[in-house]
């Protein structure tokens, strides 16, 4: 009995083993058993001399006849005689069993394969795709910008690898990003820091790799681990273009060194702090920076044209009908913004141009030199600034430290915080020289306190920051919107003070920009989007890194705004090139203008970047020219401490 039970167990074990091998193995076993049954019954027809359709059949014909009966029961209708009928019935019943089993196996196999595909664990065999490693809120604007960059391509692919459910990722992306055009989206589930999971998405056959970190959890640790996983293949890693998003500047520097300079690492908090500090000085600079960084408006191009060789940079400034030259890229890759006018372009050098489309760049043989009447009054004086910052987050100290490099000595900023979210002891920024910080704490409703402070003191600029701790992104944006509503009400109740005050707000979720505009904000810093734009830019054109580094470093060149009246006396109908020529006389490169008459409307519509030089424009003395200027060569931007400083805003301040 025990031996018999042992045989049963072994037979069942063998059967279970066959089933465990998968659908293909079971189908092969069924085919083998079917072949054996058909062969045995067909041989019996021949050996027992059973008549089939009134004739004796051989072994081959017998096997064939039973194979037909196993596949089609109707084949036994013409059978005569019980011996043939009984064996045909057996074969037909066995065929029905095998057929139903096959149908079930195939259906379950397909279902299992679909489930595996839905899990996102299948291999991606693509070449020239953009690979995004990791998941954060930046993934949506990154993909949106890549779609703009690839809109002219017929077969582009974006692959996302993150430790999240594949279907959830696809649904979230398609809910936030529209109009994919010819670009395909592929999502896979896996750990970006695991070389085995990385192999699923063909990382060494990509056009570029963007590494995202979730700043709310592991942050830079996940980014560094993912880049190290890419470096696991020492031979193929140098062929990969890697752009990584780090939170802290020291981690970004360490990642660059560890990768031998192969990975471009962005310190997102440092970048946002610098851009926010610069945007605090002029209404509209936040919009200008986002226009330069995205792929929808103007972009930075490297114009390579044989006609450039031998021409002085000063002549080229006035030789472009479409396109605003701002610098030179030398043969060794070094970028020099706002170079000397006398610099002669060599054959191996290219001109850095800001324009909407590289194909629209129009270079004249000779420069146009329109003349404008000189300004009727002296340039507006620089004077200390008075600012109000509402809210506090971990980036606020870096913003104030950057702002300290731009403002005049004696400038002040009052920081209004909610005591329930931030303690007064947290608002400390050591080492400030030009900026004096004072703190006001509200314990009940910080937004209502804003109007009270604005009524007591005159502020030229109000900066609204989002609380990033103790609040979700939605709650932080809601708090910022409440503050904007209070500011809008104050400006309506106090039109005289309101006209002299502009508002810059930080928004965490790009979907809240329109709400913030309705609530009264004029200029925006969408933190996650700024970093996403930079990542997309460098993933597509890594050479732009040196241009951005120069623009956003305090020791290089800067983008700022100055009144038209600082350069010339404006006249109706003059071509835009006349204002370019007037600013060029003092070493400032004009890339566009901002009309103050559009204030209170959509600020983006008031800003024009790279208009044609021959286009007539009606500018007023208080309208702003958007310029690129070298800080160290411009005495108007030197502070008492000898550092670079910003330019004046609507009230003559930087």
Domain-embedded: residue 124:
no
Same-domain check for residues 391 and 523: yes
Regarding whether 517 and 548 lie in a shared domain, the answer is no
The 10s digit of each residue's pLDDT in 610-634 is: 999 989 998 988 889 999 988 664 4
**Tokens 């049954």, residue located:** 37
Residue 337 lies in a domain: yes
Q: How far is CA 596 from CA 222, 377, 400, 647, 653, in A?
A: 45, 20, 27, 17, 16
Do 137 and 93 have their domain in common?
Answer: no
Of residues 554 and 610, the one with the higher pLDDT is 610
Q: Percentage of the chain surpassing pLDDT 70?
A: 83
* Domain co-membership, 391 together with 521: yes
pLDDT at 369 over 80: no
Flag whether 445 is in a domain.
Answer: yes
State what percent of residues in the chain have pLDDT above 90: 28
CATH number, domain with residue 85: 1.10.287
Give the number of domains in the chain: 4
Last residue of a domain, which of 119, 147, 178? 119
The CATH number linked to 410 is: 3.40.50.720
Is the domain of 573 the same as that of 497? no
Segment 336-347 shows an average pLDDT of: 92
Please check whether residues 457 and 557 belong to one and the same domain: no
Q: Are residues 421 and 369 part of one domain?
A: no
Given a cut of 70, whether residue 275 has pLDDT beyond it is yes
Q: Return the pLDDT at 55.
A: 64
Q: Which of 70, 99, 119 lies at the terminal end of a domain, its last residue? A: 119
pLDDT single digits (tens) 444-474: 666 778 888 888 888 988 999 988 888 888 8
Tell me which of 32-36, 113-117, 165-169, 591-595 is least confident.
113-117
pLDDT at position 123 is: 86
12-68 pLDDT, tens digit per residue, is 767 666 666 666 777 777 777 777 777 777 777 766 666 666 666 777 777 777 777
Does residue 115 share a domain with residue 134? no
DSSP code at position 55 = B
Q: Measure the CA–CA gap between 117 and 585, rounded to whole angstroms.
A: 64
Its domain, for residue 311, covers 282-375+541-637
pLDDT tens for 78-135 read 666 677 677 777 777 777 777 777 777 777 767 776 666 667 788 888 899 999 999 9
> Considering the chain, what is the average pLDDT of its residues?
82
Q: Which helix H or strand E contains 387, and what residues bound it? A: strand 386-390
Domain membership flag for residue 593: yes
Q: Based on the fold, state whether residues 362 and 390 are members of the same structural domain.
A: no
Q: Does 176 reside within a domain?
A: yes
pTM above 0.85, yes or no: no
The verdict on residue 649 lying in a domain is: no
Rounded mean pLDDT of 530-541? Answer: 91
Which range among 189-193, 414-418, 444-448 shows the weakest confidence by mean pLDDT?
A: 444-448
Residue 229 tokens read as: 């996983």
Q: Which of these three, 472, 500, 528, is where a domain ends?
A: 528
Contacts of 375 (CB under 8 A, 6+ apart): 565, 566, 567, 568, 569
Residue 533 in any domain: the answer is no
Q: Where are the alpha helices (DSSP H) in 232-333?
A: 249-258, 268-279, 285-293, 313-317
Looking at the structure, tell me whether residues 390 and 524 fall in a common domain: yes
Q: What is the pLDDT of residue 540?
A: 92
Q: Does a structural domain hold residue 536?
A: no
């Amino acid at each position: 009995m025990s031996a018999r039970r042992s045989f049963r167990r072994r037979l069942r074990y063998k059967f279970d083993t066959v089933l465990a091998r998968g659908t293909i193995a079971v189908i092969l076993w069924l085919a083998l058993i079917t072949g054996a049954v058909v062969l045995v019954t067909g041989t019996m027809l021949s050996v027992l001399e059973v008549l089939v359709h009134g004739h004796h059949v051989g072994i081959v014909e017998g096997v064939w006849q039973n194979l037909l009966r196993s596949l089609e029961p109707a084949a036994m209708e013409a059978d005569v005689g019980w011996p043939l009928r009984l064996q045909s019935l057996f074969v037909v019943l066995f065929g029905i069993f095998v057929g139903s089993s096959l149908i079930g196996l195939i259906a379950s196999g397909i279902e299992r394969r679909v489930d595996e595909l839905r899990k996102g664990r299948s291999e991606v065999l693509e070449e020239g795709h953009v690979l995004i490693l990791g998941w954060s809120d930046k993934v949506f604007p990154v993909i949106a910008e890549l779609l703009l960059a690839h809109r002219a391509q017929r077969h582009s692919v974006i692959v996302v690898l993150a430790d999240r459910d594949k279907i959830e990722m696809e649904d979230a992306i398609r809910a936030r990003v529209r109009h994919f055009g010819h670009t395909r989206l592929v999502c896979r589930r896996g750990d970006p820091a695991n070389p085995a999971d990385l192999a699923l998405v063909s990382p060494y056959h990509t056009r570029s790799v963007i590494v995202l970190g979730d700043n709310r959890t592991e942050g830079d640790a996940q980014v560094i681990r993912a880049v190290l996983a890419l470096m696991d293949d020492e031979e193929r890693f140098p062929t990969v273009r890697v752009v990584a998003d780090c939170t802290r500047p020291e981690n970004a520097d360490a990642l660059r060194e560890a990768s031998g300079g192969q990975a471009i690492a962005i310190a997102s908090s440092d970048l946002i702090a610098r851009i926010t500090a610069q945007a605090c000085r002029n209404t509209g600079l936040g919009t200008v920076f986002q226009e330069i960084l995205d792929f929808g408006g103007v972009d930075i191009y490297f114009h390579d044209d044989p006609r450039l060789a031998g021409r002085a940079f000063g002549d080229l400034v006035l030789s472009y009908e479409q396109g605003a030259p701002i610098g030179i890229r030398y043969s060794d890759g070094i970028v020099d913004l706002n170079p000397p006018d006398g610099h002669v372009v060599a054959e191996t050098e290219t001109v850095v141009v800001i324009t909407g489309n590289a194909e629209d760049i129009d270079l004249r043989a000779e420069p146009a030199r329109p003349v404008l009447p000189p300004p009727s009054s002296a340039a507006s004086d620089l004077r200390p600034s008075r600012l109000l910052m509402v809210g506090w987050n971990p980036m606020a100290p870096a913003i104030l430290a950057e702002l300290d490099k731009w403002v005049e000595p004696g400038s002040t900023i009052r920081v209004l915080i909610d005591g329930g979210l931030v303690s007064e002891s947290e608002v400390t920024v050591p080492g400030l020289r030009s900026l004096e910080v004072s703190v006001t704490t509200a314990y009940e409703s910080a937004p209502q306190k804003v109007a009270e402070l604005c009524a007591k003191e005159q502020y030229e600029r109000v900066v609204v920051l989002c609380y990033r701790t103790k609040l979700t992104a939605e709650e932080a944006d809601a708090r910022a919107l409440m503050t904007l509503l209070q500011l809008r009400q104050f400006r309506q109740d106090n039109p005289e003070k309101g006209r002299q005050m502009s508002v810059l707000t930080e928004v965490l979720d790009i979907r809240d920009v329109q709400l913030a505009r309705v609530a009264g904000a004029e200029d925006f810093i969408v933190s996650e989007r700024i970093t996403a734009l930079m990542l997309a830019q460098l993933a597509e054109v890594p050479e732009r890194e040196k241009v951005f580094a120069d623009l956003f470093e305090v020791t290089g060149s800067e983008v700022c705004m100055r009144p038209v009246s600082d350069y010339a006396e404006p006249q109706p109908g003059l071509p835009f090139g006349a204002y370019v020529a007037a600013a060029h006389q003092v070493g400032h490169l004009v890339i566009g203008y901002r009309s103050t008459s559009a204030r209170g409307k959509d600020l983006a519509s008031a800003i024009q970047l790279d208009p044609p030089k021959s286009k007539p424009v009606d500018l007023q003395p208080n309208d702003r020219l958007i310029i690129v200027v070298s800080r160290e060569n411009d005495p108007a931007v030197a502070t008492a401490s000898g550092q670079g400083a910003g330019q004046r805003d609507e009230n003559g301040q930087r």
